[in-house]
Structure 1
Amino acid sequence: MIDVGALRALRAVAALGTLARAADELGFTASAVSQQIKRLERQVGVPVLAPAGRGVVLTPAGQAIVDSAPEVFQALERCVEAAQSVSDGAPRGILRVVAFSTAIRGLLAPTILRLSTRCPDLRVHITEQDPDQALHSVDAGTADLALVHDADGLPVPLPSSLTQRHMHTDVGDVVMNRTHPLARLDPPLAGADLAGHAWVTSPPGSVCHQWFRRLFADVPEDPDVRHLVDDFATQLSLVASGDVIALIPRLARPPLGEGLVSRPLRRQPKREVHAAWRRSANASPAIQAVLAELVCCARNPPTKSCE
């Protein structure tokens, strides 16, 4: 019988192209992954990988095994869910969650305390990952639940083995020192209001930088970008100086304190946040418990009760 760990290793190698990358994802050494692949080859009696430059490729036999792997993992997961469903159905064990950084701060972190109280036998392990990597991790079985956002209005492609649920719509506001001239204007602010002011923004290539550039789509002059900073807390420290303003997603925004204020925009930039998990794990009490708390958190500020 094929070893499940070896099957998972082959699937990771197929997706990532090298033993080293597969080992990093699975939490093993490259040598351990190599031994798992060799054990699989002994079990099936044929080679499943072939060298290709600095990486490896699947043999036809290896590809056939990988193509059949989702059915195997889904069947095993259904076995686990069946065992849980005949018990009291209480969430328990470890749930591995992967998410982008601002979702961790704005959605996951506020749920942890409530989950520890309501589900004392459930432990949530969180890893920061970008949406593409997060979906791959859930699809490959190295994570159980992902929080992802669309990329500039375009949904992240969802593997057929996964299902998803809308969790939250995140929007961006302009944050400024309370003494800044924009703070005296009546909201919402238009693109023309923002011209001529100095900015700190997220670096090019990020969703928030795309939001920023779109603010000036109808403004003839280029924006005055003084600083490129990826960390939003650092952006806010620069905004506090009074020299620059920033476009900050609400999920990423800590309490502003007395010195800073936020102003909404007439054309609010936004991104949709979804939770994704394997279809075969849909009945998981742990996943359903975390989803319920995430929905609660998305609908209510962390300082308010979700009852």
Structure 2
Amino acid sequence: MIDVAALRALRSVAALGTLARAAEELGFTASAVSQQIKRLERQVGVPVLAPAGRGVVLTPAGQAIVDSAAEVFQALERCAEAAQSVSAGTPRGVLRVVAFSTAIRGLLAPVIPRLAAHCPDLRLHITEQDPDQALHSVDAATADLALVHDADGLPVPLPLSLTQRHVHTDVGDVVMSRTHPLARLDRPLTGTDLAGHAWVTSPPGSVCHQWFRRLFADAAEEPDVHHLVDDFATQLALVAAGDVLALIPRLARPPLGDGLVSRPLRRRPKREINAAWRRSANASPAIQAVLTALAD
């Protein structure tokens, strides 16, 4: 009979291309993953991997095994969910959650006390991951639930083995000092209002930088960017220290304090946030408990 751990190791190697990267994902050493693959080859009687440069590729037999692996893991997961449903569907054990940093701060952290009160036998193990990596982790069963956001209005491609649910819409506001001229405006800000002011913004390549660039898409002049900073708390410190503005998602925004204010934009930048999990785990009491807490 095929060893499940060895099957999971082969699936991870197939997805990541090297024994070292698979070992990192699975929490083993590369030697341990290699031994699992060799055990699988003894069990099936044929090679499943072949060297390719610095990495490895699947043999036809290895590809056939990986193609069938999803059904195996889904069946095992359904067995576990059936057992939990017999015990009155009580959320218990460890639920491995992967999410981007602002979702951890703004969505997950606030519901942990509520979950602890209503589900004392359930513990969340949270790891920060970008959306693409988070979906891969859930698909590979190294995580159970992911919180992901769309990429500048485009949804992250969802593996066929996963399903998802919308949990939140995050929007961005402009933050400024209370003494800034724009702080006196008691209305949503326009592109004309923002012209000519200095900024601190997230580095290129981030969703928030794309939001920022879109604010000035129709402007005649380039925006006056004084600072490029990834950390939002540091952005706020620079806003408080100088005469710069910052565009910050509400989920990412710590308390502003007395010296800062936020103003909404007439054309609000936004991102949709979804929870994603394996279809075979749809009946999981732990996943459903977290989804309910996020909805509340």
What is the TM-score when the length of structure 2 is the normalising length? 0.99
Secondary structure of 2:165 counterpart: strand
In the other structure, the counterpart of 2:236 is 236
- Amino acid across the alignment from 2:127: T
Where 1:51 maps in the other structure, the secondary structure is strand
The match for 2:116 is 116
Please say if residues 179 and 242 of structure 1, whose CA atoms lie closer than 8 Å, have aligned partners that are also in contact: no
Provide the rounded CA distance (Å) in 2 between the counterparts of 1:89 and 1:26: 28
Shift of 1:250: 0.2
Q: Deviations over 1:45-95 (max 9, x none)?
A: 000000000000000000000000000000000000000111121100000
Structure 1 alignment gaps of length 5 or more:
297-307
Residue pairs, 1:37-48, within 5 angstroms:
37-48=37-48
Report the CA distance between 1:242 and its aligned residue.
Answer: 3.2
Q: 1:204 & 1:210 partners in 2: Cα distance?
A: 7
Q: How does 1:266-305 map to 2 (within 5 A)?
A: 266-296=266-296
What percent identity do the matched residue pairs reach?
Answer: 88
Q: Look up the equivalent residue of 1:243 and give its one-letter code.
A: D
- What is the alpha-carbon distance in structure 2 between the residues aligned to residue 201 and residue 214 of structure 1? 13
Structure 1 runs of 4+ with >2 Å offset = none
2:70 maps to which residue? 70
Between the aligned partners of 2:226 and 2:286, the Cα distance in structure 1 is 46
Partner of 2:206: 206
Equivalent residues in 2 for 1:180-195, closer than 5 Å: 180-195=180-195
Which residue identity lines up with residue 256 of structure 2 in the other structure? L
SS of 1:142's equivalent?
coil
Counterpart residue type for residue 38 of structure 2 = K
Gaps of 5+ in 2: none
1:106 is matched with 106
**CA deviation digits over 1:141-193, x for unaligned, max 9?**
00000000000000000000000000000000000000001101232000111
Matched, 1:261 2:264: no
1:255, distance to aligned residue in structure 2 (A) = 1.1
1:176–1:242 CA contact under 8 A, matched in 2: no
Could you give the per-residue CA deviations for residues 108-152 of structure 1, whole angstroms, max 9, x where no partner exists? Answer: 000111111110100100000000000000000000000000000
- Structure 2 residue 70 is the aligned partner of structure 1 residue 51: no
Give, as a single letter, the amino acid of the residue that structure 2 aligns with 1:11.
R
Distance across 2 between alignment mates of 1:254 and 1:69: 43
Q: Deviations over 1:220-258 (max 9, x none)?
A: 110000000000000000011132110000000011111
Counterpart in 1 of 2:165?
165
Residue of structure 2 equivalent to 1:248: 248
Aligned to 1:179: 179
The worse-fitting range, judged by mean Cα deviation, of 178-187 and 60-69 is 178-187
Partners of 1:228 and 1:16 in 2: CA distance: 32
Q: Aligned partners of 2:113 and 2:288: how far apart in 1?
A: 17
Superposed displacement of residue 218, structure 1: 1.1
AA in 1 matched with 2:175: V
Which secondary structure does the structure 2 equivalent of 1:70 belong to?
Answer: helix
What is residue 196 of structure 2 aligned with on the other side?
A: 196
Q: Distance in 2 between matches of 1:189 and 1:161?
A: 43
CA distance in 1, matches of 2:244, 2:137: 38
What is residue 128 of structure 1 aligned with on the other side? 128
Measured in 2, the distance between the counterparts of 1:79 and 1:122 equals 19
2:8 partner letter: R
Q: Please state if 1:156 is matched with 2:156.
A: yes
Quick one: distance in 2 between partners of 1:32 and 1:240?
A: 51
Q: Distance in 1 between matches of 2:178 and 2:293?
A: 34
SS in 2 for 1:212: helix
Instruction: Report what 1:220 is aligned to.
Output: 220
- Alignment correspondent of 2:144: 144
Aligned match of 1:302: none
Contact kept in structure 2, 1:180 and 1:242, CA below 8 Å = no
